[in-house]
């Protein structure tokens, strides 16, 4: 398969978005509004409270000090936003509180109108499991306090990497919850008339394999699903795939 693909390449000429969006840090997981004017990315940046944490650990007795040093995370994930102007993309700015905290926030999905954001956050006090999916609404230029989607979307397992459909009625996400085909599968949940999310449904054998499927993205046509998989035939450990509904 790999030999055949190398001998028959397709046109692929990516363009770097430049210094306004990309930084010296890791910039990834782009999500864009339907009008193409609002771009939100996840950026891995140094923790602002790192010096304070190191000082506190230094005052701890051994062997606790050694254990805490091994567990310390020197970087954190935050959201940055850039807007499309006639001159190009504006310099990406930290979205700030209440969405960004001293913990990790990442893997966001923006609604088609750019006013609702679903994202992943880990180890929060109101969390159901290690990582959960949260929602925040934008009003008058400000984002609301994020809310945990709660059950049945979030469980004691790992839920992350949401992608909201263009009509806002279907939420695709990744979870290692029980009942899946592999380690991490892609699931979906439907919003009912009361605004409540249904019991998540596994996308099944046409998408999920015995290995990991991740990073779902539902296109604005609401029929085309892009995702990453380690289970389908490809070029490497995880490749990008597309499926049509």
**Gap between the Cα atoms of 226 and 111, Å rounded:** 17
Neighbours of 122 (CB within 10 A): 16
Query: Could you tell me how many helices (H) and strands (E) the chain has, helices first?
Result: 3, 17
By the 8 A CB rule, do 38 and 32 touch? yes
Q: What is the pLDDT of residues 115-163, one digit of tens each?
A: 999 999 988 888 888 899 999 999 988 999 999 999 999 999 999 999 9
- Per-residue pLDDT tens for 3-42? 999 999 999 899 999 999 999 999 999 999 889 999 999 9
Task: Tell me the helix, strand and coil percentages in the chain, rounded to 5.
Answer: 10, 40, 50
């Amino acid at each position: 398969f790999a030999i055949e693909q190398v001998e028959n390449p397709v046109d692929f000429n990516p363009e770097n978005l430049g210094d306004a969006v990309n930084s010296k840090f890791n910039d990834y997981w782009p999500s864009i509004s339907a009008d193409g004017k609002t771009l939100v990315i996840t950026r891995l940046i140094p923790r602002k409270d790192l010096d304070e944490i190191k000082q506190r650990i230094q005052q701890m007795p051994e062997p606790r000090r050694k254990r805490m040093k091994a567990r310390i995370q020197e970087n954190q994930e935050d959201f940055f936003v850039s807007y499309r102007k006639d001159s190009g993309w504006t310099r990406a700015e930290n979205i700030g509180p209440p969405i960004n905290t001293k913990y990790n926030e990442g893997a966001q999905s923006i609604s088609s109108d750019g006013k609702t954001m679903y994202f992943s956050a880990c180890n929060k006090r109101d969390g159901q499991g290690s990582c959960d999916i949260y929602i925040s609404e934008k009003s008058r230029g400000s984002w609301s306090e994020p809310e945990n989607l709660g059950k049945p979307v979030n469980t004691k397992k790992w839920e992350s990497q949401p992608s909201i459909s263009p009509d806002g009625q279907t939420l695709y996400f990744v979870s290692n919850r029980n009942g899946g085909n592999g380690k991490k599968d892609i699931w979906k949940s439907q919003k009912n008339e009361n605004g409540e999310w249904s019991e998540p449904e596994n996308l099944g054998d046409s998408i999920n394999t015995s290995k990991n499927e991740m990073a779902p993205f539902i296109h604005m046509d609401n029929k085309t699903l892009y995702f990453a998989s380690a289970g389908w035939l490809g070029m490497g450990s995880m490749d990008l795939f597309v499926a049509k509904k």
